[in-house]
Amino acid sequence: MLTEKVYYKIGEVAAMFDVNTSLIRYWESEFKKIKPRKSSKGTRLFTRRDIDNFRIIHELVKVKGMTIQGAKDYIERKEKENSFGKVDVLNTLHRTKEMLQEIKNILDNK
């Protein structure tokens, strides 16, 4: 479960989506929507927005089976149509659900 943090390391992001860190680095190089900051030591630091964008790409490529180019084209088309507002709402709902589930688990264990 996600706890609200400002930055997440690549291993944490990989665990969220059950993928290898190499896939995250590859998608970072392929998709300009994923732009982690880097610490002075070169550690990738992903923001909530990066994770939301990764969730979109993961859904398109891993769940729906699109190619990398197909996902790029889809994202570009949706950005031109300005229809990612719905995706932002869905991502917010997803985070809210995770937070509520975490609260429920804490209350159930008391």
Blockwise average pLDDT, block size 10, the chain, 110 residues: 77 95 95 91 92 92 94 87 66 79 84
How many whole angstroms separate alpha carbon 2 and alpha carbon 81?
Answer: 31
Q: What is the pLDDT of residue 1?
A: 47
Residue 3 resides in a domain: no
Strands (E), 28-87: 37-38, 44-46
Residue-level pLDDT at 3: 55
Per the domain annotation, does 74 fall within a domain? Answer: yes
Q: What is the pLDDT of residue 38?
A: 92
Residues spanned by the domain of 44: 8-108
Calculate the CA 94 to chain-centre distance: 11
How many folded domains does the chain comprise? 1
The C-alpha angle 22, 26, 61, rounded to 5 degrees, equals 100
pLDDT score at 92: 74
In CATH, what number is assigned to the domain containing residue 45?
1.10.1660.10
